[in-house]
Structure 1
Amino acid sequence: MTEVQTYPTIDEAARAMARGAAYMGGGTIVMREVNAGTAAPVLVRTDDPTLRQLRAQGDTVSLGAGVTMAQILAEPQLDFLHPVARRVGGPQVRNMGTVGGNLFAAHPYGDFAVALLALGARVQLAGTSGARPVEDVLRDRARQVGLVAAIEVPRPRHGSFGFTKVSRVKPKGVSILSIAVLAPQTGGTLRGVRVALGGMGSGPLRSAAVERALDGQRLDRTTLEKAQSVASDGLQPPTDALASAWYRSEVVGVHLRRLLQSMESS
């Protein structure tokens, strides 16, 4: 039987987790484990209101780890994240699923984490100073890295960020793969490109090959063809009930090119 402990502050919840408990936020992940009988013996939750806060600080938006997809969709200042949040499950999941929890959602879930990776987000852990790159948290998420308090998301320039999710069931099917691209342009040349992929490895990852193909180039036909051709280079996508590794490798470049073309015309 699983015991649920509720704490008034995030710091108290983090201390409880350090003693071996698991955290329950929106419950969209953990409750499946509870129902399957595989959840940790002790689950920790907190009513700390800071987890639901949204704050704009210059060119950065701070999202409390307990902010839901529905909250994001209700905030005009987060319009760049609306296409991502809208593709996370159905209304019930969006009302419960949190940005912090999405960082730990295993494939075929975790599409929001793919977008955060492309945007260069940073993660604040409870009881620590400073923030860690989201890459570090995603890399270490199989181990207990601490309790996520907030996520700092740089606001992209208009038209420089794009996201797409490929699924067999629309509009709320789980992902075969997902792609997020940050492609700022200076004088028509791409600079500081970040490309993140979901469903192409054990978790969200960046595509170094595509970033090299795009950075320093103009978004023309030649560049698009090059990016498409290297989209699966160095990657080991899984084979599962949704799709084979071969299929993912074949289609990721096509969907990447379509996303880039849609950003070019926006």
Structure 2
Amino acid sequence: MPVNVRIVQGLQEAASILASDRGAQLLGGGTLLVRDINEGVMTEGTLLRAVDPALLAMNTGGARVELGAGVTMAMVLAGRDLSYLHAAARGIGGPAVRTTATIGGNLFAATPYGDFTTALLALDAVVTLHAGFGGARVMPLEEMLANRARGGVGLVASVGFSRPAGADAFRFVKVARVRPKGVSVLSIAAHLPQNAGRISGARVAYGAMGPTPLRAKAVERVLEGRSLDAATIAAAKTAALEGTQPATDAIASEWYRREVLPVHLGRLLAGETS
């Protein structure tokens, strides 16, 4: 059976097809799925194309940000209200890839890809899902990533999160051997809002340090309630590797990722992100 392409209008119809046909996969920008077809990884099934305008919706002006799953990295880069996400979006391939690569697609990217998802995880994002029955439901991104490997997540319609507290509250770095568009050795995102000079509500996330992007909860515990000084950064570096499961691949070894993660975390926390 060859690979077929099917176009539908509504999100609920698309979700119903995905729920009833295990061979169906949603086609966003195609940067991952089309590659799988070209390389013979996917040889049969259905590529489902949903053209619902809601997938391209962007609500970015208020305290709460909502981005449709079909929003591309190029669209993020064009949004002045999303400047804090520009570094993460710019790390996704080259200009041609960014015009097609979508937020929703990045949520399903295998390690060592998924850098934009790492940024969303540090922003405590939630995803709106359609599962093919009933209405939509909202799920924390961290929970969605934990369920991803088991399948049956449903159709991701949008991603929502609170705008970072200030210009310096959100930080992101992608570590790659080839800059600017090489595959990640690792990536780190941190949301560090402060109250009276002390961190309140710290969120730190890693990419390429586990099967999916993951929260660095040991680092968050170290940072919480403390000022971001040299002693705090040193303590965070000591806790950096807790809970990580980096793999060895063509980009870097497990040993190398473990060696360089604390170094780049320290630089990120110190504001050295260039």
Whether the TM-score (by the shorter chain) exceeds 0.5 is yes
Q: In the aligned structure 2, how far is the partner of 1:56 from the partner of 1:241?
A: 37
Give the Å deviation of 1:37: 2.5
What is the root-mean-square deviation of aligned Cα atoms in Å? Answer: 1.6
- Which AA in structure 2 matches 1:41? G
State the Cα deviation string for residues 39-89 of structure 1 (Å, max 9, x = none): 251111111111111013731111000000000111111111111111111
Q: In the aligned structure 2, how far is the partner of 1:204 from the partner of 1:120?
A: 12
State the Cα deviation string for residues 176-230 of structure 1 (Å, max 9, x = none): 0000001111000111101100111111001111111111111111001111111
Of 149, 156, 172, which aligns to 2:157? Answer: 149
Of 230, 234, 251, which aligns to 2:239? Answer: 230
Residue 170 of structure 2: aligned partner:
161
* Residue 43 (structure 1) aligned with residue 47 (structure 2): yes
1:67 alignment partner, SS class: coil
Q: In the aligned structure 2, how far is the partner of 1:130 from the partner of 1:80?
A: 27
Residue 249 of structure 2: aligned partner:
240
Residue 137 of structure 1: aligned partner:
144
Q: What TM-score do you get using the length of structure 1 for normalisation?
A: 0.96
2:142 alignment partner, SS class: helix
Q: In the aligned structure 2, how far is the partner of 1:226 from the partner of 1:14?
A: 45
2:148 alignment partner, SS class: coil
Residue 120 of structure 1: aligned partner:
124
Q: 1:110 to 1:90 in 2, by over 3 A?
A: same
- Which AA in structure 2 matches 1:117? L
1:209 alignment partner, SS class: helix
Residue 16 of structure 2: aligned partner:
15
Residue 251 of structure 1: aligned partner:
260
Q: In the aligned structure 2, how far is the partner of 1:259 from the partner of 1:57?
A: 27
8 Å contact from structure 2 (residues 61, 81) kept in 1: no
Q: What TM-score do you get using the length of structure 2 for normalisation?
A: 0.93
Q: In the aligned structure 1, how far is the partner of 2:64 from the partner of 2:137?
A: 15
Matches within 5 A, 1:177-192: 177-192=186-201
Q: 1:48 to 1:129 in 2, by over 3 A?
A: closer
1:131 alignment partner, SS class: strand
1:125 alignment partner, SS class: strand
Q: 1:14 to 1:88 in 2, by over 3 A?
A: same
- Which AA in structure 1 matches 2:165? R
More deviation, 85-94/49-58: 49-58
**Identity, % of aligned positions:** 50
Q: In the aligned structure 2, how far is the partner of 1:217 from the partner of 1:110?
A: 30
- Which AA in structure 2 matches 1:139? A
Of 90, 95, 105, which aligns to 2:109? Answer: 105
Q: In the aligned structure 1, how far is the partner of 2:222 from the partner of 2:242?
A: 11
* Residue 27 (structure 1) aligned with residue 30 (structure 2): yes
Aligned length: 265
Give the Å deviation of 1:19: 1.6
In structure 2, the gaps of 5 or more residues are none
Residue 94 of structure 2: aligned partner:
90
2:99 alignment partner, SS class: helix
Q: In the aligned structure 2, how far is the partner of 1:130 from the partner of 1:257?
A: 37
Q: In the aligned structure 1, how far is the partner of 2:87 from the partner of 2:237?
A: 22
Residue 196 of structure 1: aligned partner:
205
Give the Å deviation of 1:130: 4.0
Q: In the aligned structure 2, how far is the partner of 1:233 from the partner of 1:146?
A: 31
